[in-house]
Each structure stands twice: as structure tokens, then as C-alpha cells.
Amino acid sequence: MKKIQLIFKTLILLVFGFSGAAQNNIEIATDKKQIAINENVLERDIKELELFKSNSLALQTSVGVKDLGAAVKYRNILLASMKREIGQGEVKVARAKAEVAQSSREVKTDRREKRRNRRQYTGSSDDNKDIVRDRVNTRDDRRDRRDDVADLEELELRLMNQRVLYEKMSKVTFASADQIDIRYVNKELIKKFIATMEADVKETREELKEDRRELREDKRERRDDRRERREKY
């Protein structure tokens, strides 16, 4: 009977161990994918920001010399760019929601591991090390989730502001050369939209730092879990 119980307990440990390893690998793969995505997004956003600034200056110049054709052209270019930014913002919000869901799953995984280690606790030095590691992992993953939630809220607010600015910009029209006046182009409106794009670039840089830190933490968790499995099995 005792032999059967021992086999049963060993099987349970193996199942939990391999499921934990699988979760670690998923988290690391997700981190690497997110880093690659954000590196591409950052490069794209920087280029689009510089082009938007250039076209904004061209619009102001066209208005200043009362060039109707050029004014209409650059107004339409800016509108198309603003619409594109809004579409990209929607994708970023959806991606941020997925990151919140992923970090929430990691917190739940920490809870399961803590419960498992408490059940198996015998007071040994290895068990005490496991408890300390669990606390560190939980602390890191909870912080990551708070960061992800804050990033999502910031993205949603920025997207809302961009939509408002786009609607205002879409009302800027030039009926004739006589009506081309600097008053018809709200410089502050354009500056505000540029500010949202600059905030996007800054946020993506910060996310890259967070992603790389999370990757380091997840790799450390995987090493800890492997060490724990070797100690137990």
C-alpha cells in the first residue's frame, strides 16, 4: 500500500513538474515574440512620426503661401496618416489586452505553485528555498501585471484622443485660394497629434525594456524550476 502511495505521489509531482516546465517555455516564447513585435513597431513608428512632422510643415508652408492645391494635398495626407495611426492604435490596444491576459495567467500559475509547495513542505532547506523563490516569482509577476494594466489604460486613452483630433482635422477644408488662411489650420491640433505619436514611441521603448526584463525573469524562473525538479526527483 505504501509503495502504491509513493508511486502515486511521484506521478503527481511529475505531472506538476512537466506542466510547470511547459508553462515556463510558453512564457519565454511569448516574451521573445513580444520583443520582436515591439522592435518592429518602434522602427515603424519612428519613421512615421518623422514623416508626419515633415508633412505637417509642408501643410503650414502651403497655407502660408496660399497654395490651394498643396494645402488640400497635405491636409489629405495628414488625415490618411492620422487614420492609419488610429488603426495601429486599435491593434496595440488588442495586443495590450492579450498581454494583460497572459500576465494574469502567470500570476495564477504562481498561486498553483505556491499551493503545491506548501502541500509538499517538510521544513527542509530545499523546501525553504522553494518558498523564497515562490515569493520572488509572485512579486515579479504581480508587478508585471500592474505594468501591463497601466500600459493598456494609457493606450486606450491615447487612442481616444487621436480619434477626437482626427474628427477635428477632418473638418478643415479649403474652398478656394482666398479662404486659405492660417486660421483654418489649427496648429495646436496638429501639435497634439504629434504629441500622441511621440508618446507612442516613448511607450514602445519602455515596453521593450519591460519585455526584456520579463524575459530575464522568466528564464530565471525556468532555471529555478529545473533545479527544484532535480532536487525532488
Provide φ and ψ at 213, rounded to 5°: -65, -45
The winner for highest mean pLDDT among 151-155, 213-217, 229-233 is 151-155
The winner for highest mean pLDDT among 18-27, 70-79, 122-131, 157-166 is 157-166
Q: Where in the sequence is the domain holding 8, given as residue range(s)?
A: 2-232
Residue 213 confidence class, pLDDT cut points 50, 70, 90 = confident
Global pTM reads 0.72
Beta strands in the chain (DSSP E): none
Domain count, the chain: 1
Closest listed residue to residue 232, CA positions, set 26, 16, 24: 16
DSSP letter (8 states) at residue 182:
G
Judge whether residue 109 has pLDDT over 80.
Answer: no
**pLDDT, tens digit, 9 for 90 and up, residues 46-62:** 999 999 999 999 998 98
Residue 22 confidence class, pLDDT cut points 50, 70, 90 = low
Beta strands in 121-194 (DSSP E): none
Place of cell 523546501: 127
Place of cell 515574440: 33
Judge whether residue 233 has pLDDT over 70.
Answer: no
N-terminal to C-terminal alpha carbon distance within the chain:
21
